[in-house]
A = this chain, B = another copy of it.
């Protein structure tokens, strides 16, 4: 929940004049998106989203993100389409920050995801993973093993403030993951993944998935790891209970379009642990390093401690409703 950078009305008008999208009628900061400043920009042609990229997003990565959205949108995925200015460029500067305008997507994100949403999500994820086959760019995942290790070092001393014994248990988990995490190219299909497919990044309209947003963590990694992130984000109830119906819907809908191979099935519990650790680590870091006045309510790292512990107890992917995985 953000808007860190304000844009001046005079600067806004000059900025929008570089595009062929009509005249500004309104521009309001949106209380969504933790990483960037987002505005709902209404012109006489309709609504758009204006994003000012904040420091957590590296400027050098922006062409990757914008090209990815353009690539996916061109293949019919309901994701924002970057709008190019009259000079043909989609990325420029406003209010001292890198900035872009993308198409507005209809829909509302589900506050309480239901099994039907997970079916829609699984189908869209498979389409997305199939659609990147010919995407020419790549971006390393800086929030994989090495990144988790770095965050852990930064949090190690104070981790037990959040939960006694947490530092020790994270250390052991990192050792386990380092020992078993597959090398890229070792039989697990890889490609560009979204890597942050939480419910607030997915819109629905009349129960149909109508939008996928916020591609600013997208990177190259195992497709099954993307599924593991979604599993954690969508298939646990607010009380922490795992909902196997949601997981089954997610995997079945996905597998109908892109079946998981045996190695992906075998590694799914490990990926789920890694995915839990990834969000645990960033939440822990943000929790211990709150910025006064940042207007972001930090998310509870303990939610992901519980999810991690759930996956540690799993024997195989059959626990996720994948019946052929025993």
Please report A residues at the B interface, Cβ cutoff 8 Å. 1-3, 6-10, 12, 24-32, 40, 42, 47, 104-112, 203-205, 293, 295-297
Contact = CB atoms under 8 A, between A and B. Distances in A.
What 8 A-B pairs have minimum CB-CB distances, sorted nearest first?
Answer: A29-B31, A3-B31, A295-B295, A25-B106, A9-B108, A8-B111, A31-B31, A28-B30
A221 B175 CA distance: 69
A9 B109 contact: yes
A109 B24 CA distance: 12
Nearest to A205: B25
A108 B24 contact: yes
B31 A42 contact: no
Contacts of A6: 111
A263 B253 CA distance: 76
Contacts of A25: 106-107, 205
A10 to B, nearest CB: 7
A121 to B, nearest CB: 15
Contacts of A109: 9
Contacts of A203: 26
A40 B205 CA distance: 16
Contacts of A10: 111-112
Contact of A297 (B24, B105, B293): B293
A298 B78 CA distance: 39
Given A1-B3, A40-B40, A42-B47, A108 B27 contact: yes
A29 B32 contact: yes
A32 B28 contact: yes
A29 B26 contact: no
B8 A31 contact: no
Contact of A295 (B47, B204, B205, B296): B296
Nearest to A39: B31
Contacts of A204: 9
A247 to B, nearest CB: 21
25 contacts: A1-B29, A6-B111, A7-B111, A8-B112, A9-B111, A9-B204, A10-B111, A12-B108, A25-B106, A25-B205, A26-B104, A26-B106, A26-B203, A28-B30, A28-B31, A28-B32, A28-B40, A29-B30, A29-B31, A30-B40, A31-B31, A40-B40, A42-B106, A47-B47, A295-B296
A281 to B, nearest CB: 22
Contacts of A107: 25-26
A31 B47 contact: no
B295 A1 contact: yes
